[in-house]
Structure formats: C-alpha cells, structure tokens
C-alpha cells in the first residue's frame, strides 16, 4: 500500500495535474452527453453515450488514485476548471463531420496533456496512471479518425452488375 500524501500541505505538481485532469474528464463527459442528446441517429447517439461513459470512467480512475494517495476525495472547489485541454464546443448547427474533427483534436490534446503529465510527475503511481490514460485517449483518437475516414470517404467504386438483387421482376 502506498504511503498517503498530505493534501493540506504544499500543493505539489502531481496533485495539480490530477485535479486539472479530473475537471477536464468531467467536461469531456458532459460534452459527449450534450452531443448525444442533439443527435437523432440511434447509432451515433449510442457512440457518444459510450464516449461520455468512457470519459466518466477516466474521471473515476483519477478520483480513485487521488483517494488512494491522499485518503480522501477532492472537494469540488479543488477540481478546477482549466484551459489545459481546450474543448472546442461545436456550433449549434455544426455538421457531424465538423464535430468529429473537433473531437479528434480534443482527444489528441488529452493525449499530449497526459504525456506531459507523465514526464513531469515524480510520483511513480501517477506516472503509470497517466501512461494508461495516454493509451485510452489514443484509442479514442484512432476510433474517431476511423469514423471521420468513413464519413468523408469519396464514393466507393463498383459496377452496377455487382449489385445483388437488381433483377427485373
């Protein structure tokens, strides 16, 4: 079991990083949920609901690390809203592909944030946590880049005779 750190004492860099990360994960979760509520397509809604839950799980993982490290959960006022990871909010009438581009950028920024956090911290358990979160956020980047490729793919080529069940009946 790791030794509990004193949260009341000097604010260390890792503590600040974790508090920022917790705030950003909550913002990301809320954004995905908000996007989901605006979509009519059930598959797209589900995708964003799942992403909202994934970001919430990232928050829970950070919160658990905080609790294990400091013996208590942070007060809401300690979880500061920051500009560490800029989440661009899509315009009210944004196209689906524009939303996906924003999300790719946001998830890439999250990766950079956690990569930098892993380099800066001297706490080994925090370093492992940040490295794990880099992998998770990278998976989100890949997922949304694939999604973007599918929705922006130029027309697929095939011959009319290749289409099944186009018989004159």
Tell me how far the alpha carbon of residue 46 is from its chain's centroid: 16
Sign of torsion, CA 28 146 132 85?
negative
Given a contact cutoff of 8 angstroms between Cβ atoms, the answer to whether 104 and 144 are in contact is yes
Q: In this predicted model, what pLDDT tens digit does every residue of 39-77 receive, in sequence order?
A: 888 999 999 999 999 999 999 999 999 999 988 777 665
Q: Parse the chain into domains and list their residue ranges.
A: 13-162
pLDDT band (50, 70, 90) for residue 8:
very low
- On whether the 13-162 domain is CATH 1.20.140.10, my answer is no
The mean pLDDT value for 8-21 works out to 76
């Amino acid at each position: 079991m790791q030794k509990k750190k004193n949260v009341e004492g000097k604010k260390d860099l890792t503590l600040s990083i974790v508090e920022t990360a917790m705030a950003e994960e909550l913002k990301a979760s809320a954004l995905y949920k908000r996007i989901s509520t605006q979509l009519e397509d059930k598959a797209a809604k589900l995708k964003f609901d799942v992403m909202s839950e994934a970001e919430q799980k990232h928050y829970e993982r950070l919160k658990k690390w905080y609790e294990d490290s400091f013996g208590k959960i942070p007060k809401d006022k300690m979880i500061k809203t920051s500009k560490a990871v800029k989440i661009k909010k899509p315009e009210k009438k944004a196209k689906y592909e524009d939303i996906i581009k924003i999300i790719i950028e946001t998830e890439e920024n999250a990766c950079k944030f956690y990569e930098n956090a892993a380099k800066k911290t001297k706490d080994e358990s925090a370093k492992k946590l940040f490295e794990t979160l880099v992998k998770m956020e990278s998976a989100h980047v890949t997922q949304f880049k694939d999604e973007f490729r599918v929705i922006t793919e130029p027309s697929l080529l095939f011959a009319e005779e290749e289409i099944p069940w186009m018989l004159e009946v």
